[in-house]
Amino acid sequence: MSFSLSGMTYCIHTFGCPMNKHDSERISGMLDTKEALPVATIEEADIVVFVTCCVREAADVRLYGQVQSIKNIPLREGSPLRKRILAVGGCIGQRDGEKLTNEMPHLDVVFGTHNIASLPMLIAAAIENGGHQVEILESAADFPTSLPTSREHAWAAWLPITIGCNNFCSYCIVPYVRGREKSRPLEDIVAEAKAYVDAGVKEITLLGQNVNSYGRDLYGEPRFADVLDALDATGVERLRFATSHPKDLTDEVIERFGTLKSLMPYLHLPVQSGSTRILKEMNRRYTREHYLDLVRKVRSACPDIALSTDVIVGFPGETEEDFQETKSLIEQVGYNQVFTFIYSKREGTPAALIDDPTPREVIQRRFDSLVEVVQDSAYRLNQPEVGRTLPVLVEGVSKRDGLILAGKSPHNKTVHAPVPEGVRPEDLEGTIVNVLISEAKTWYLSGHVVGAS
Ligand code: SAH
Ligand code: SF4
Ligand code: F3S
Ligand nearest to the CA of 343: 1
Q: How far is the CA of 63 from the centre of ligand 3 (A)?
A: 13
**Residues 374, 267: Cα–Cα separation, whole Å:** 16
CATH 3.30.750.24 holds for 144-381? no
**pLDDT value at 29 more than 70:** yes
Q: Whose CA is nearest to atom 3 of ligand 1?
A: 209
Same-fold call for 144-381 versus 386-452: no
Whole-number pLDDT of residue 1: 61
For 26-30, 69-73, 285-289, 391-395, which range has the lowest pLDDT when averaged over its residues?
Answer: 69-73
pLDDT band at 43 (very low <50, low <70, confident <90, very high): very high
Give the E-state strand segments of 252-366 in sequence order: 266-268, 306-313, 337-342
Q: Is residue 315 within 8 Å of residue 349, measured between CB atoms? A: no
What topology is assigned to 386-452 in CATH? OB fold (Dihydrolipoamide Acetyltransferase, E2P) (2.40.50)
Q: Where are the alpha helices (DSSP H) in 163-223?
A: 174-178, 186-198, 216-219
Look up residue 248 and give its DSSP letter: G
Residues 404, 162 contacting (CB under 8 angstroms): no
The four Cα atoms 11, 14, 20, 23 give a dihedral, to 10 degrees, of 0
**Cα–Cα distance measured from residue 169 to residue 350, given in angstroms and rounded to the nearest whole number:** 9
Q: Which of 417, 451, 336 is nearest to 384 (CA)?
A: 336
- Distance in Å, CA 53 to ligand 3 centroid: 5
pLDDT in tens, 74-131: 999 999 999 999 999 999 999 999 999 999 999 999 999 999 999 999 999 999 999 9
For atom 4 of ligand 2, the residue with the nearest CA is: 209
* Secondary structure letter of residue 220 according to DSSP: S
- pLDDT tens-digit series, residues 129-180: 999 999 999 988 778 777 888 998 999 999 999 999 999 999 999 999 999 9
Ligand 3 probe mutation, 55, 169, 341, most atoms within 8 A of CB: 55
Give the number of the ligand closest to the Cα of residue 55.
3
- Nearest protein CA to atom 1 of ligand 3, as residue: 53
Residue nearest to atom 24 of ligand 1 (CA): 343
Q: What average pLDDT does the structure give for the chain?
A: 96
- In the chain, the percentage of residues whose pLDDT exceeds 70 is 100
Fold of 9-135: Rossmann fold (3.40.50)
Mean pLDDT of 343-369: 96
pLDDT for res 431: 96
* CA separation for the pair 34, 7 (Å, rounded): 10
Mean pLDDT throughout 275-287? Answer: 98
3-state secondary structure labels for all residues of 100-169 = HHHHCCCCCEEECCCCHHHHHHHHHHHHHHCCCEEECCCCCCCCCCCCCCCCCCCCEEEEECEECCCCCC
Domain spans of the chain, in order of start? 9-135, 144-381, 386-452
Cα of 244 vs centre of ligand 2, distance in Å, is 10
| pLDDT greater than 70 at residue 303 | yes
Nearest CA to ligand 2 atom 5: 167
Closest ligand to Cα 348:
1
Give percent of the chain above pLDDT 90: 92
